[in-house]
Structure 1
Amino acid sequence: MSVTPRRRIRRATVLSAVCALAVAGAGLTGCSSEDPDAGTNGVGKLPADKIHAKARTAAESAGAVRLHGTVAAGGNTYTLDMRLKPDGGTGSVAAEGTTFGLLRVGEQLFLKADAGFWSNDGGDAAAAEKLAGKYVKVPQRDPAYQKFSGFTDKDVLLGDLLSLHGTVATDGRHEQAGVRTIRITGDEGAGGSLDVSLEGTPYPLRLVRAGSAGTIGFSDWNKDFALKEPAKDDTLDYGKQLPTS
């Protein structure tokens, strides 16, 4: 039986009304044919390995970034809040019940902590009081330099953190801090997951590391910040080796 134009119009009107009520009342989007990639940077249409590559390239090219979260390494869990640039970084690290500040400008690394940090593991109490609250210059040959400088090195830190293990695949669209993302995973999540921005430059926004080895958020991409050595009267230099190393 043929359908008259008037009946076709009435049917379309009723269907539109039903869709509008469903969306308004239940938050449903099934009636919409809108392209999910409309208004995005387009990386959501790419294969997972290409999304991963673009995110890493964007991160490497950025002039600055802030990262915050937890990283498990060497039997310890570190809570980081660091701002990084190609020539250094500054921020705080918490581990084993203590928090200390790190500042690196070029090759010069400074560590700032309270007396409890310096007197840990039987350190000299008198020296610890002298070091407390000061920027202590860390000699490049001291073991502490190798241990802590990586936390201030943008290329080293991001190169390690942005790795996913196993077969990489996409895992749907998500949102981080109000920004739409595409999530990629390694081995269906067992090898870690990475949320990549669908808005503007495809920067990494959130990483869940493989093996429950921590979760890191990334923000303030390309947002510059001051990075300079501390004042001399606020700095201590012990020469070739720290007193508690």
Structure 2
Amino acid sequence: MPRRNDKRRLVLPLALALVLVPGCSGMPPAPVVTPTHIDLGGEWSEDVGNGVTLLGTEDARATVIRSMRSADGVTMRGVFVDADNRLLTMSVSGRRGAVEAEFTVDDESTHVTLIDGIAYVLPPPSSPGEQEAGVYSCLGVDDPVVTRWRTLLDPVQTVAEFTADASAIAAADDESANFVLGGEGALGTLTISSDGEPLPIRLVRADTAGTMDVSFDDWGEHDVVPPSPLAEGC
């Protein structure tokens, strides 16, 4: 007879299938070039804000990603709907290497905490039989289960991979600017702040894999600690 938590153990494989969109196969993305000749700390006239819209698209995108890497952390929330209309909701808080995440599919959630090179996962990705309900399992960051989540477990990488085809940048209003994705913005937009640090505000994208709509807020330090209870041996 199936155990009561068998249904929950199906969440992780299903969620993994949802996030395996083009560019998210778990392979590391090409390094983003960091422009060393750009000084956004310089004086700009008020009508151009932080000056990011004065840059070429490639340099502007690299500057946004550099600003994200320099930030202490962020919360990324949103949804992904695949081509079969399956819904994945996500909430990821922290910074690269230290994040707390929750992914939900069909009202069943998977929790992942990544810290100090260890991924704590609930429910466990397999069915060992003796695994106690409600107990986090421990996996290495190079475990295939973890590497397949890589894109969504790092907000910087999420932005880097889903904006690789940015074709232009233009002011949206006095405080924000939009990168258009794909030719003439056919695939979506990345909205960033054009006042202060050029950090992402919202990413909307739609292609053959599905539709993504995520927001970025709560920039600053996030206290990420190991969850509990943990499986024996963690």
Does TM, normalized by the shorter one, top 0.5? yes
Q: Report the AA paired with residue 189 of structure 1.
A: G
Question: How does the TM-score come out when normalised to structure 1?
Answer: 0.62
Q: What does residue 196 of structure 1 align with?
A: 192
Say whether the 8 Å CA contact 2:94–2:221 is kept in structure 1: no
Q: Which of the numbers 217, 221, 224 marks the counterpart of 1:224?
A: 221
1:230, 1:77 → 2: CA distance? 26
Shift of 1:95: 2.2
Other-structure match for 2:169:
170
User: 2:135 maps to what in 1?
Assistant: 134
Q: 2 CA distance for matches of 1:202 and 1:103?
A: 27
More helix by share: 1
How far apart are 1:111 and its partner, in Å?
A: 1.1
Matched residue type, 2:71: A
Distance 2:168 2:190 in 1: 11
When residues 107 and 237 of structure 1 are mapped into structure 2, their CA distance, relative to the original with a 3 A threshold, is: farther
Maintained 8 Å contact 2:125/2:145: no
Aligned to 2:179: 184
Secondary structure in 1 aligned to 2:172? Answer: strand
> Does the 8 Å contact 1:195/1:205 carry over to 2?
yes
Q: Which residue of 2 aligns with 1:110?
A: 120
The 8 Å contact of residues 88 and 154 in structure 1, kept in 2 or not, is answered as: no
**Would the aligned equivalents of 2:190 and 2:203 in 1 still touch at CA under 8 Å?**
yes
Select the structure with the greater relative contact order (CA < 8 A; seq sep ≥ 6): 2
Shift of 1:139: 4.8
1:70 corresponds in structure 2 to: 79
Whether the aligned pair in 2 keeps the contact of 1:69 and 1:80 (CA below 8 Å) is yes
Other-structure match for 2:53 = 44
Partner-residue secondary structure (3-state), 1:103: strand
**Aligned-residue offset at 1:208:** 1.1
Unaligned runs of 5+ in 2: 1-44
Cα-Cα RMSD: 3.4
- The alpha carbon displacement at 1:70 in A equals 1.8
- Structure 2 vs 1, CA of residues 140 and 40 (structure 1 numbering), >3 Å: closer, same or farther? closer
Q: Distance in 2 between matches of 1:44 and 1:141?
A: 38
Letter in 2 for 1:165: D
Please tell me the residue identity of whatever aligns with 1:183: N
- Counterpart for residue 213 of structure 2: 215
Distance 1:43 1:155 in 2: 18
Q: How many residues align?
A: 187
Give me the TM-score of the superposition, normalised by structure 2.
0.65
